[in-house]
Structure 1
Amino acid sequence: MSAKRLIVVKSTQHFHAEFAPIATAVIYVATLGAITPDFASIRYKARGLNYWPRVGNPHAD
Structure 2
Amino acid sequence: MARRLANKGRRNLPKTTELGKRSYTSTEARITQYKERIRDRDYLEFAIDHIAIELTHFLTK
Query: Which structure would you say has the larger Rg?
Result: 1
> TM-score, normalized by length of structure 2?
0.26
- Which structure shows the higher strand fraction? 2
